[in-house]
Structure 1
Amino acid sequence: AQKSIRLDTTVSTCPVCCPARACLLTGQYPLTHGIFLNQIRLEPDTTTFAEVLKSHGYDTAYIGKWHLDGDTHEQNFIPPERRLGFDFWRAHECSHNYYDSPYYDDSGIMKKWEGYDAFAQTDCAIEYLEGRQDEDDPFFLFVSYGPPHNPFHKVPEEYRALYNEDEIVLRDNVPAESEATARNDMWGYYAHITALDHCVGRVEEALERLGMTEDTILVFTSDHGEMNGSQGHDRKIRPWDESILVPFLLRLPDGTSRQIDTPFGIPDMMPTLLDLVGAPVPEGVEGVSFAKHMLGEADAPLEASLFGCYVPFANYSYEHGGREYRGVRTSRYTYVRDLEGPWLLYDNEADPYQLENLCGRPEVESVQTHLEGLLSDLLKEQNDAFENGQELLDRWGYEMVNPHAFRRKQV
């Protein structure tokens, strides 16, 4: 982190697994690529991140959790034509059994990662890098870990032992009735994060040992956050910072280091990274490049980043208090509208735990009007009429399989 550009207001555009991953690999927003739910197969009408780099001579590789192939599950083989441009393949659709985790290579035979899967996936990534040491062609390696996604306690015991559950300090917005569960979850959550920190460190050490740091960009990010008791909620999809904000660390060969508060959305990652390596951004990409801003050569291209919940589902279903919403996050404010109108407004500078909803107060009327204008402009750009969830499902031809998953309707 000390050798990286750190973007502290990186926003998950739709803070749940499949939609966020689709945004990253297409540079598009959910109502363009069509993945605003889990378990819908991504079938983009644009050139994907890996396909762009592959067409410019890059060797492309993917290791770990995929979660973009729809209603296939971990036992299903994802054929090469559905890998969106990745050639080297050691992946599975989705599993969070971190000690019995499957994957496939090109053989089509299910294999299992040995032990804690993130450690084995890191071994695989390092072996891939070692195999590239004497190659002249550039490479694009995407390592997708499952942790720290729940279950929080399927984690190596030596990492859990680093933390004392009773001494874990919770965020100020965790209500008393949620403290016990939150503290227990955070015990495992922190252990997973520490284990992944070790994994990323091993990859960095391998790059240095192999002499690759002088021409390699290293990125660390995530698809969504985790509430862990904040606001009395758990998991994701919620509009609060614990859910929508994700890390983004960018280590460049020259070691440029700076902290940036500018809001930066997941659809912006693809065009930014393509810009940094000198590859063209294909038509259909909706995100914008922040490369010059990150390098200190230009102002931020956007004031606000768009995020939303398009169809409430899983543990944020209607039955659990879920609602459709659209929002914007600026470097200072969060503003959210639901189907009834303005819902949330926080001054995150004065109120970092989002404890005081300022929505509708006379003293922030001008701020709310400005934020509403930003949100309205972004929704207009996306042709987002802010329909209710069922209207979106009907328009896209999706149906519910179970409260956690959807599919395209069978014709």
Structure 2
Amino acid sequence: MITPHLDRLATESLVFENAVAVTPVCAPWRASFLTGQYPLTNGLFYNDKPLPTQAVTIGKAFKEAGYQTGYIGKWHVNGHQRGEDPFSGRNKPIPKERRQGFDYWKVREVTHDYNNSYYFDENDEKHFWEGYDVFPQTDSAISYFHKNKDNPFFLVLSYGPPHDPYFTAPQEYKDLYRDRTLSLRPNVPEMYQDSARRVLAGYYAHCTAIDKAVGDLLKGLEDAGIAENTIFVFTSDHGDMLMSRGVLKKQRPWDESIKVPMLMRWPAKLGTVRRDVYDPINTPDLAPTLLGLCGIDLPESMEGEDFSAALFSGEDLGNEAALITLPVPFHEWQFMNGGREYRGVRTRKYTYVKDLMGPWLLYDNEQDPFQMKNLVGVPQYAQVQEYLEAVLSKKLADTQDEFLPADTYMRRRAYIYDRNDSLRPANYLELNRD
């Protein structure tokens, strides 16, 4: 993948080698990031459901601390009015009282049409981004840097790509991969390898376009004279299987889905020499850690850990495992497509996952980085499995997660399944078990 600007950023950043998406899908990740809570606490474990207006969020915390706050791009936590088409809210403005502490506002709930994209401003007026939306959104962020260079600010820039559709990056970026032979992960089945290379070429084209935008952002900070004292974080809400195991997209508990890139640069306090952080960091930890880095008191409602002291000191995070959850499978991984509820932990070395039938997956990620050998029930790993079961049980107890069937959580929140998400074969738990 061609990413010169991100490569340079990595040489100047903390590089989180095991950054984990607590629920690897769009709305649940965003709600967890905003609130510092686990999905069953804040209620967003399913796309297109509403984050409560009264939620305590990172945007509100920074605003109360005197920061200017802004948000540009994809939001996806406003939901839709009950009884409407489940995706109808994606095309509507978000009312001011539901912007969770952000004042500067160039936002659309959701779009996947990156070349015909629009947003709503602070006054709910509709505007179109010109061309491929990543680039004008980046320009808007750079303008925000200059307007607020004399003020502390907290800005979220939320790109849509490289999320599917995979083949809609500008032509000049697609051309970069047209004649290249792309190497594949060994866990892509042979019958899907041609398709995988085609998808990768499109996905990588989006990534290289985003890389150009990241370069522009970094230059924008330098031109505004604030690069030294700005915490710059690059991360994502989920990964994509990209034909590993023969499937696409997210929600699944494998590394291609749950692991995300995460770079953090702050020259004034963290230096400009790359430092790799190997202990896992989870989505609910991001808000507490960012607030901690800025010396802002954490809201009591936040469940994640504040790792700012460890980042300042250069020590390990001291965090053994990150929790991964899917309370309700939906949309492209609905029950009929083999989706199932799961809970698991990702440590530096292991992945351990249970579904409602019991232990499902166990991988030694150091020995088996492509997760091709499931070790559940293997006698030599019995003690490891037992230990990870205890780690997971403690995580579930700490987060008050009873690990119940999906229907229970849907009823508790009075949620309605979207379209065919509730349908499942009688033996759906047995389908596709490794």
TM-score, normalised relative to structure 2: 0.90
2:159 aligned residue (136, 145, 149): 145
Q: How far apart, CA to CA, are the structure 1 residues paired with 2:201 and 2:311?
A: 34
Residues 50 and 86, structure 1, Cα contact 8 Å, conserved in 2: yes
Give the number of equivalent residue pairs.
403
Cα root mean square deviation, aligned:
1.4
Q: How does 1:8-407 map to 2 (within 5 A)?
A: 8-43=17-52, 46-71=55-80, 72-133=88-149, 135=150, 137-164=151-178, 167-253=181-267, 254-403=271-420
Residues 321 and 346, structure 2, Cα contact 8 Å, conserved in 1: yes
| Structure 2 CA distance for partners of 1:364 and 1:45, relative to 1, 3 Å | farther
Aligned residue for 2:141, secondary structure, equals helix
Q: How far apart, CA to CA, are the structure 1 residues paired with 2:174 and 2:249?
A: 20
Q: How far apart, CA to CA, are the structure 1 residues paired with 2:280 and 2:242?
A: 23
Q: How far apart, CA to CA, are the structure 2 residues paired with 1:376 and 1:45?
A: 30
Structure 1 alignment gaps of length 5 or more = 406-411
Shift of 1:403: 4.2
The residue type equivalent to 1:230 in the other structure is S
Aligned residue for 1:398, secondary structure, equals coil
Shift of 1:256: 4.5
Aligned residue for 1:120, secondary structure, equals helix
Q: How far apart, CA to CA, are the structure 2 residues paired with 1:128 and 1:340?
A: 50
The residue type equivalent to 1:361 in the other structure is V
Aligned residue for 1:38, secondary structure, equals coil
The residue type equivalent to 1:66 in the other structure is W
Residues 278 and 316, structure 2, Cα contact 8 Å, conserved in 1: no
Q: How far apart, CA to CA, are the structure 2 residues paired with 1:192 and 1:145?
A: 11
Q: How far apart, CA to CA, are the structure 2 residues paired with 1:403 and 1:265?
A: 31
Give deviations 1:265-293, integer Å, cap 9, x for gaps. 01000111111111111111000012222
Q: How far apart, CA to CA, are the structure 1 residues paired with 2:421 and 2:360?
A: 25
Between 108-117 and 38-47, the greater mean CA deviation after superposition: 38-47
Q: How far apart, CA to CA, are the structure 2 residues paired with 1:295 and 1:345?
A: 34
Shift of 1:24: 0.3
| Structure 2 CA distance for partners of 1:266 and 1:149, relative to 1, 3 Å | same
| Structure 2 CA distance for partners of 1:110 and 1:197, relative to 1, 3 Å | same
Shift of 1:402: 2.1
The residue type equivalent to 1:289 in the other structure is D
Q: How far apart, CA to CA, are the structure 2 residues paired with 1:167 and 1:334?
A: 31
Aligned residue for 1:295, secondary structure, equals helix
Structure 2 alignment gaps of length 5 or more = 1-9, 81-87, 423-434
Shift of 1:33: 0.1
Shift of 1:298: 4.1
Give deviations 1:117-172, integer Å, cap 9, x for gaps. 00010011111112123x3x200111000000000111101011111366011111
Q: How far apart, CA to CA, are the structure 1 residues paired with 2:154 and 2:313?
A: 25
Residues 279 and 316, structure 2, Cα contact 8 Å, conserved in 1: no
Residues 38 and 404, structure 1, Cα contact 8 Å, conserved in 2: no
| Structure 2 CA distance for partners of 1:163 and 1:404, relative to 1, 3 Å | farther
Give deviations 1:62-89, integer Å, cap 9, x for gaps. 0001111102534311111100000000
Residues 46 and 283, structure 1, Cα contact 8 Å, conserved in 2: no
Residues 43 and 413, structure 2, Cα contact 8 Å, conserved in 1: yes
TM-score, normalised relative to structure 1: 0.95
Aligned residue for 2:167, secondary structure, equals coil
Q: How far apart, CA to CA, are the structure 2 residues paired with 1:389 and 1:280?
A: 35
Q: How far apart, CA to CA, are the structure 1 residues paired with 2:137 and 2:216?
A: 11
In percent, how many aligned pairs have the same letter? Answer: 46
Shift of 1:361: 0.7
Give deviations 1:324-382, integer Å, cap 9, x for gaps. 11010000100000000000000000000000001111101111111000000000111
The residue type equivalent to 2:22 in the other structure is T
Q: How far apart, CA to CA, are the structure 1 residues paired with 2:109 and 2:256?
A: 25
Residues 288 and 301, structure 1, Cα contact 8 Å, conserved in 2: no
The residue type equivalent to 2:348 in the other structure is S
Q: How far apart, CA to CA, are the structure 2 residues paired with 1:163 and 1:29?
A: 38
Give deviations 1:212-245, integer Å, cap 9, x for gaps. 0121110000000000101111110000000000
Q: How far apart, CA to CA, are the structure 2 residues paired with 1:391 and 1:214?
A: 49
Q: How far apart, CA to CA, are the structure 1 residues paired with 2:61 and 2:130?
A: 33
The residue type equivalent to 2:211 in the other structure is D
The residue type equivalent to 2:317 in the other structure is A
Q: How far apart, CA to CA, are the structure 2 residues paired with 1:251 and 1:337?
A: 36
